[in-house]
Amino acid sequence: MRKGNLMSVRPDIKVLDATIRDGGLCNNFEFSDEFVRELYKANIKCGVDYMEFGYKASRQLFKEEDFGKWKFCKEEDLRAIVGDNISDMKISVMADVGRCDFKEDFLPKSESVIDMVRVACYIHQIPAAIEMIEHFHSLGYETTCNIMAISQAGTSQVEEALNMLCQSSVNVIYLVDSYGSLYPENASELSKIYINAAEKVGKSVGFHAHNNQNLAFANTIDTLSYGVSYLDTTVQGIGRGAGNCATELLLGFLKNPKYNLYSILTFIEKYMLPLKETVSWGYDLQYMFTGQLNRHPRDAMSFSADGRKDYCEFYKYLLDNE
């Protein structure tokens, strides 16, 4: 049932660094160009397969002056960092269903340094996601569909969603544990369902973890052992709320010698430690609560933003407002 073992190399594995995109949710996408450029260089040295630069958010819905540039990932901003991206590492951006002017904001692939567009949606938005995916394919991009908040979907919904996606042009179907509420046993059961459906039609499966219960890394390597091949990580786990699976944990685990831990350590020492002084993320009790209760982390994020430490009151509030 497991694919490979703890000693073997799985050539199908792709590590996707989502530091700027998911981490951008912690600092309003306000990373300096130096930060992004040094991360780009570090990722290349470490053998990372894809680097996600941010969102392609609608400039009609969101004002450019309210956010850092990585919420919009304009072609010229990407090129200011990567030039023509002559590296082997591919570049991805995320497009949210309903928050993206996908017909206007994407160049044909031949004119863009973007390689892959990841379409994020809730499970009821799959038809809208597929419309976007087909558009991106017609432009020449690789695509993924990241179905969020999967821990709240029913089995038949999941089956139907997979069914629809398997008939589309999408390359990778992502299992997204948005609430950090999956245990490895759940995550791997779900991933087996995804893999069974995807493999038949030559598609791959990805996993995006959240660390609410300190299980982001564990869930990532458990699903990978059952055949998930696209693995999202962020440096030091930076990401909304409890954050994500840490790149350095995964790079230390993978056996393929193309992956290398050292370069990301240099980046951490020089860029992440100073960032941590002003931006906060990571496992804490308030996120554990929402993970255990299978809830959106928004209340926990407000709790953090308000600098509250009255965990008991907050827990009672959550129980009273299920």
Rounded to 5°, angle at Cα 89 from 91 and 70:
30
CA 159 to chain CA mean position, Å: 22
Write out the two tokens for 198: 């995807």
Which of 125/213 has CB closer to its own copies? 213
Q: Which residues make beta-bridge pairs with 118?
A: 94, 144
Which of 219/234 has CB closer to its own copies? 219
User: Closest Cα partner for 148 from 169, 167, 129?
Assistant: 129
Please identify which residue in the block is written with the tokens 């821990």. Answer: 151
Which of 143/211 has CB closer to its own copies? 211
Please identify which residue in the block is written with the tokens 């609560």. Answer: 289
Among 221, 235, 275, 300, binds its own copies (CB under 8 A): 221
262 binds its own copies (CB under 8 A): yes
Q: How far is the CB of 224 from its own copies (least distance, A)?
A: 11
226 binds its own copies (CB under 8 A): no
Restricting to residues 13-32, name those near its own copies by CB under 8 A.
none
266 binds its own copies (CB under 8 A): yes
Please identify which residue in the block is written with the tokens 């002559």. Answer: 86
Which of 62/315 has CB closer to its own copies? 315
288 binds its own copies (CB under 8 A): yes
44 binds its own copies (CB under 8 A): no
Amino acid identity at 123: I
Which of 7/86 has CB closer to its own copies? 7
Q: How far is the CB of 215 from its own copies (least distance, A)?
A: 6
The stretch near its own copies (CB under 8 A) out of 85-93, 169-177, 201-209, 303-311 is: 303-311
Among 205, 216, 238, 301, binds its own copies (CB under 8 A): 216
Q: How far is the CB of 34 from its own copies (least distance, A)?
A: 19
H or E stretch covering 187 = helix 184-200
Which of 268/275 has CB closer to its own copies? 268
Compute the distance between CA of residue 313 and CA of residue 309 in angstroms, rounded to an integer: 9
Greatest extent of the chain over all pairs of C-alpha atoms, in Å: 55
Which of 50/226 has CB closer to its own copies? 226
Compute the distance between CA of residue 206 and CA of residue 204 in angstroms, rounded to an integer: 7
9 binds its own copies (CB under 8 A): no
Q: Is 299 helix (H, G, I), strand (E, B) or coil?
A: helix
Restricting to residues 173-212, name those near its own copies by CB under 8 A.
183-186, 211
Q: Is 19 helix (H, G, I), strand (E, B) or coil?
A: helix
Q: How far is the CB of 222 from its own copies (least distance, A)?
A: 6
The three state secondary structure string of 34-83 is HHHHHHHHHHHHHCCCEEEEEECCCCCCCCHHHCCHHHCCCHHHHHHHHC
Please give the residue ranges that form the binding site for its own copies (CB under 8 A): 2, 5-6, 183-186, 211, 213-219, 221-222, 225, 246, 248-249, 252-253, 261-262, 265-266, 268-269, 273, 285, 288, 292, 309-312, 315
